[in-house]
Copies of this chain bind each other. A is one copy, B any other.
């Protein structure tokens, strides 16, 4: 890397650390062919913390993100549920849910919200989606808020017919008819 001036170096330094936050000052110094002190001055001026703080912050952020994917936060917040009858779920559209370039939400996230909601309103330990018929009406963009409303239309024994309608900015963007089977937990004595 040919010797750069301060402004260029600091710009590249930021890029470099964004791409790999685990680099220590010594490594950065070698990359840019300057002394450790210079790197430290650069970090100061740019307000970039030391490697251990960067690592910790990555860990904490990513940790909670992964947890949120697992716990289902990323597939909508259940704001209102009447078991075996109806439910409401809200999902804020953030970058993570989008195709990179387009700012358009990936279809399966809209589906996931609806599916999760449909399953959640069925009052049983395990609810399985049997089949569903779905339709997307228009793309949903980053920053919109997806509001999914679910209603149980019919219920036959352990078979529930749930309709979900998802709106964004007052438009219906998704509709789905889910058939859900309730399977009571065999471990649980009745």
CB distance from A139 to the nearest CB of B (A): 6
A119 touches B107 (CB 8 A): yes
CA distance in complex: A125, B96 (Å): 18
Copies of this chain per assembly? 2
CA distance in complex: A164, B142 (Å): 28
Residue in B58, B70, B130, B139 whose beta carbon sits within 8 Å of that of A59 in the complex: B58
Query: Is A86 in the interface zone, CB < 8 Å from B?
Result: no
CA distance in complex: A34, B52 (Å): 27
CB distance from A159 to the nearest CB of B (A): 13
CA distance in complex: A179, B20 (Å): 39
Q: Which residues of B contact A63 (CB under 8 A)?
A: 58, 62
Of the four ranges (under 10, 10 to 19, 20 to 34, 35 or more), the interface on chain A belongs to: 35 or more
The residue in A104, A108, A115, A139 that gathers the most chain B C-beta atoms within 10 A of its C-beta is A108
20 new A-B contacts at CB < 8 Å, known A58-B59, A62-B63 = A22-B56, A59-B59, A65-B66, A66-B69, A66-B96, A69-B96, A99-B126, A101-B125, A101-B126, A101-B185, A106-B115, A106-B116, A107-B119, A108-B111, A108-B115, A108-B116, A108-B129, A111-B112, A128-B136, A131-B134
A-B contacts, 16 of them at CB < 8 A, read A22-B59, A55-B56, A58-B62, A62-B65, A66-B69, A69-B96, A70-B96, A102-B126, A106-B115, A108-B111, A108-B115, A108-B116, A108-B129, A112-B112, A128-B136, A131-B136
